[in-house]
């Protein structure tokens, strides 16, 4: 199993541009999580899905952020327009329903200049 796959690994973009981060969860996992990590705020849960349905998006910082999960094998996190304060490492994680541990991807390091 290749684990949770995130792309791109690194993204540098200019302020105001649209950014799309992608995640492929582990096959058979029913839950998917998006986190953001910064030095100041640590690991923050942005949104999570169960069976492709968003359950809790209370961690999404503002309307510029949106996340979708069109099918069980793919999710996107979009920032439009991006701002320098969005610079962070974004992690995706997945978990099998009934299984207890979550598996994390390697993250996408986003830099907005």
Pattern of binders to other proteins over 1-20, x per CB under 8 A?
---x----------------
CB of 55 to other proteins, least distance (A): 5
Structure tokens given for 112: 């907005």
Each residue 61-80 as x (binds other proteins by CB under 8 A) or -, in order, gives --------------------
Query: Cα angle at 38 between 37 and 43, to 5 degrees?
Result: 35
Shortest distance (Å) from residue 65 CB to other proteins: 17
Shortest Å, Cβ 16 to other proteins? 28
Q: Among 65, 44, 46, 63, which Cα is nearest to 55's? A: 46
How far is residue 98's CA from residue 92's CA, in Å, rounded to a whole number?
Answer: 19
Interface pick for other proteins out of 19, 91, 94, 112 (rule CB under 8 A): 91
Largest Cα–Cα distance of the chain, in whole Å?
Answer: 42
- Residues in CB range of 42: below 8 A, 6 or more apart: none
- Establish if 97 lies at the interface with other proteins (CB under 8 A): yes
How many residues in total does the chain contain? 113
Binding stretches for other proteins (CB under 8 A): 4, 31, 33, 35, 42-43, 45, 48, 50, 55-56, 91, 93, 97, 100-107
């Amino acid at each position: 199993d290749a684990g949770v796959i995130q792309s791109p690994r690194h993204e540098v973009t200019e302020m105001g541009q649209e950014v799309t981060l992608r995640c492929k969860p582990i096959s058979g996992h029913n839950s998917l999580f998006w986190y953001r990590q910064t030095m100041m705020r640590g690991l923050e849960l942005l949104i999570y899905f169960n069976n492709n349905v968003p359950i809790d998006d209370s961690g999404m910082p503002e309307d510029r952020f949106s996340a979708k999960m069109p099918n069980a094998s793919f999710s996107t996190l979009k920032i439009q327009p991006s701002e320098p304060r969005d610079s962070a490492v974004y992690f995706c994680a997945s978990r099998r329903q009934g299984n207890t541990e979550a598996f994390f991807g390697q993250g996408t390091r986003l830099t907005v200049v």
